[in-house]
Structure 1
């Protein structure tokens, strides 16, 4: 390294509380490499690992294993809200895995993209949490550095984006799910198939719509940009977008909704337009929430294993806390099309 650690300590040049960026600069490596050393990853050269560990110790940065020696037995689950069945399924999975290990869960319903100092990244320090599971949140470099400096492990479920390739995350095979949903509608004879995605910037939205586009291309069906709409994953936004789609002169005969809650909004838009499902309009959702069987008609949907995603996220977090190397920082669980009664051949087919 450019300067000897002992010399810099004697001159008092090191920061009172060194940051991840400072350690990376001193070690002439990327912040991602320092993060790998902190998380016990094996894909770091031995000489580099030794150099980084020496710097971590010299500057009193939390060394690998330091957090494990003083575990609190608590983890934070940070989520945008618990007012949706989707969030409840995730929570059920996280809590079941934590309960099996005797670990408590602190649930924080806050905005995951809040980058202010008083944001959710300050919460783990207040009750000395060992780690954080962030659900569908955006992770800024400042927030991640704040957690790493505090020695708090992090796993993200359905991240908005993946700014760092080594950020541990859990999701589903969204592209395959979008492909399966659209191919099912194509197999029934539909050619005017609309898609309502979630927020544009979310990875899961992009992947599902990419699967939708791929299915149309495979079938030789031209893509009509007017049939692709965006909303949040809730009822209201999809209701408005479905109304707009059904008002087109050449309205779609089928709608692929990006979530089951969106599909409920489509159901209501169809009802108000005097259309019957599936006789006049076919609908396919995404999630396979328990309510799908109780809709009228029961909803054909793409199942993503939400409860299992919660469990896997918790297991991944415990692996990080135990210093176990991850086979891959990104885990995607398989989706599956669940065929019920909300999709049928288009009228006149």
Structure 2
């Protein structure tokens, strides 16, 4: 079995949502469920050894647009969020992550050494990530607190605007060049993440924001769950120019399992063959190199191919890649090694 370290999932959102309805997050993750995509039993069955687990404050007003007769759609951006309610929700999700760690349901990892040890021990290696920084004010005081709690990765924006910058809509076909980039607060956030050793994630940000980060950061460029715009021209995917910059920085793209970002027609449809996933991986490997491609499933946050189903199905993708000629060393890089390289670089020697 090829162990997978995944660049993005929304299991904390699912657990938080169910806790609000009376559920027990520790029991749900530890014992397993038929809900969503990730829990400890299904992760173990599919070789999902760990991943970046997102703190994401949901947008209640977002309604995904239906395609028109040509298959085109534009979902209006979600409204900006209020900071204090966002901070409350983000704190509640961080608390769930800490409770899972305390109970031994997963191990909250703050270094690559922690990740490797958890994987060796057969415990899910969770890294706390923040997807959209509405919970962090422009004074960045909350960033220090979340970092102390274990935050080691963040995306300044989701697909909505905030005090730090601008996000891209869910739209097909559309360029990612849809709005301005980072604000002055966003530039300060990038510099502070560099100081603290927090990975900066470029998924969901506008193309101008991408270049603003590229000019400011001292880290490799990383898009944790994005695909190739040349194959699926949704606004969330990366242009060839962006991919070339990621290659030049020795960065990373985590291939997103979301069907709307894989299919040539941009539709969210579970009846999507694994060949579409292999097509994007092949394209990215050809464009930016085997060392710069990994996996970023978006489990618990997207419609994924039915053939994979959930975390237990990860090895089906590995098998599909084997069938088209990827060898053992390349598969190890795609499945986990490239993520561990990037995290070592972004977090600095003291975390390596």
**TM-score in terms of structure 1 length:** 0.32
- Kindly name which structure, 1 or 2, has the bigger radius of gyration based on alpha carbons: 1
For normalisation by structure 2, the TM-score amounts to: 0.32
